């Protein structure tokens, strides 16, 4: 039986974050070192101000190379601002969130409470939830000969 479908039970509670004034190369280093596809961008008070993806970083570096600049820029120059980001709340239903992420082809959704970042749900967390429910949703698999 399904125990919970609350987003808060499956979200990443302390997602990696970066400040908007950080150098884009610091973001690239974090993304590579942490093996993640993007970062939540927060201000000094922990308010979500945007998200930065691998593609944003790639765009930043290629734009700088094309323009002949050594300074690639700051996170704020390439992030998606919060007013363009779909966010979730703690009590959102995980199935509804997954459906919406699939229909919009989004890999992550920040979870906010009163404007502050409190977590993040990603495709990986959604897959973990599916795995937890696999005995209910999917028939058990056995090796057949």
Rounded to the nearest angstrom, the gap between the alpha carbon of residue 64 and the centroid of all alpha carbons in its chain is 25
Other CB atoms within a 10 A radius of the CB of residue 145 amount to 2
Distance (Å, rounded) from C-alpha 123 to C-alpha 31?
16
Q: Look at the chain and report how many structural domains it folds into.
A: 1
Q: Does the residue 145 lie in any domain? A: no
pLDDT at residue 2 in the model: 46
Q: Does the residue 1 lie in any domain? A: no
Q: Does the residue 28 lie in any domain? A: yes
CATH number at residue 23: 3.10.580.10
Burial 4-35 (b: 16+ CB within 10 A, else e): ebebbebbbeebebbebebebeebbebbeeee
Q: Does the residue 66 lie in any domain? A: yes
Domain that holds residue 119: 7-134
Other CB atoms within a 10 A radius of the CB of residue 126 amount to 21
To which residue do tokens 């970066």 refer? Answer: 18
Q: Does the residue 2 lie in any domain? A: no
Average model confidence (pLDDT) across the chain: 86
Q: What is the pLDDT of residues 74-120, one digit of tens each?
A: 999 999 999 999 999 988 888 888 899 999 888 889 999 998 999 99
- For the record, the structure tokens of 24 come out as 């884009």
Q: Does the residue 144 lie in any domain? A: no
pLDDT at residue 135 in the model: 57
DSSP strand E in the chain: where?
17-18, 38-42, 48-53, 80-81, 108-113, 116-122
């Amino acid at each position: 039986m399904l125990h919970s479908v609350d987003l808060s039970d499956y979200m990443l509670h302390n997602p990696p974050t970066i400040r908007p004034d950080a150098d884009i190369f610091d973001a690239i280093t974090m993304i590579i070192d942490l093996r993640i596809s993007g970062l939540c961008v927060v201000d000094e008070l922990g308010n979500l101000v945007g998200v930065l993806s691998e593609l944003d970083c790639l765009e930043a570096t290629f734009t700088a190379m094309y323009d002949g600049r050594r300074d690639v820029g700051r996170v704020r120059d390439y992030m998606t601002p919060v007013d363009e980001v779909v966010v979730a709340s703690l009590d959102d239903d995980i199935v509804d969130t997954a459906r919406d992420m699939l229909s919009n082809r989004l890999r992550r959704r920040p979870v906010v409470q009163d404007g502050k970042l409190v977590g993040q749900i990603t495709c990986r967390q959604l897959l973990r939830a599916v795995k937890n429910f696999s005995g209910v949703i999917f028939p058990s698999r056995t090796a057949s000969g």
